[in-house]
Amino acid sequence: MKVIEVHNLCKYFGRFGAVRNLSFEVVKGEIFGFLGANGAGKTTAMRMLCGLLTPTSGKGRVAGFDVYRESEKIKRSIGYMSQKFSLYEDLTTAENLELFGGIYGMGRKEIKAKMAGVIEGLELEAGKALLVGSLPEGVKQKVAFAVSTFHSPEIVFLDEPTAGVDPIARRKFWEMIYEAANRGVTSFVTTHYMDEAEYCNRVSILVDGEVRALASPRELKQKFGASSMQEVFFALAQKAKRGVS
């Protein structure tokens, strides 16, 4: 079952083509890696899929809803964790979970019942009653993931979720993504860490606003005769004209 379908999606800011002719499909339960150098258009593309930005042209459906007209319906079906850590730092972990659960239409009882499981599953007991602002970076990241998946979305969009986090916390973070995938949650992840790209089911590499490669990590390495995703990325991203200084 396809949960994201994109066909020739474009976004122009004036004459600048931030994203050009984006076409791909993502199926249910897949972990889809979205790679690209800084300024390649990753965030712009993701914002269009999340209903935060209106595309200039092309077609797109997320969770079965149109990206132009049904963005509010899309928002009901997705979770989003942004690059900048963006939970309420002056609220506790539990209060953040409750708030976002409530916004997505969960009732008080449902929230309470689910909260215990989520807190336990992510080993957040110690930080449950602490203000999020006082938590260490790695724990904040876990909380942000917990919040973005608390309302059981079909798809979760993760924009550089592990930026600035230590390797152990990153490994744990990917374990959470895998657990979510086992529950049937589709993950759409952008990252700069090439070891993380290896964890994805399929990877697309964006260069200057266009998709230059789209396949599983194994296929990509074969195609480019590379031993790691790092080499594949270098081979493609070095040709970029944008963002080179």
Which residues contact other proteins by CB under 8 A? 50-54, 71-73, 75-76, 78, 80, 82, 84-91, 95, 98-105, 107, 131
| Cβ–Cβ under 8 Å, residues 144 and 161 | yes
Q: Which is nearer to other proteins, 76 or 212 (by Cβ)?
A: 76
CB 9 within 8 A of CB 21: yes
Residue 59 CB, nearest approach to other proteins (Å): 17
**Closest approach of Cβ 196 to other proteins, in Å?**
22
Least distance in Å: CB of 25 to other proteins? 22
Is the Cβ of residue 86 or residue 216 nearer to other proteins in the bound state? 86
At its nearest, how many Å lie between other proteins and the CB of residue 99? 5
The distance of closest approach from Cβ of residue 143 to other proteins in the complex, given in angstroms and rounded to an integer, is 12
**119-to-64, 114, 161, 162 alpha-carbon distances in Å:** 31, 9, 19, 20
Grouping H, G, I as helix, E, B as strand and the rest as coil, residue 105 is coil
Q: Which is nearer to other proteins, 39 or 102 (CB)?
A: 102
Cα(141)–Cα(214) distance, rounded to whole angstroms?
Answer: 28
Closest CA to 200 of 210, 186, 211: 186
CB-nearer residue toward other proteins: 91 or 226: 91
Cα–Cα distance for residue pair 220/224, rounded to 1 Å: 6
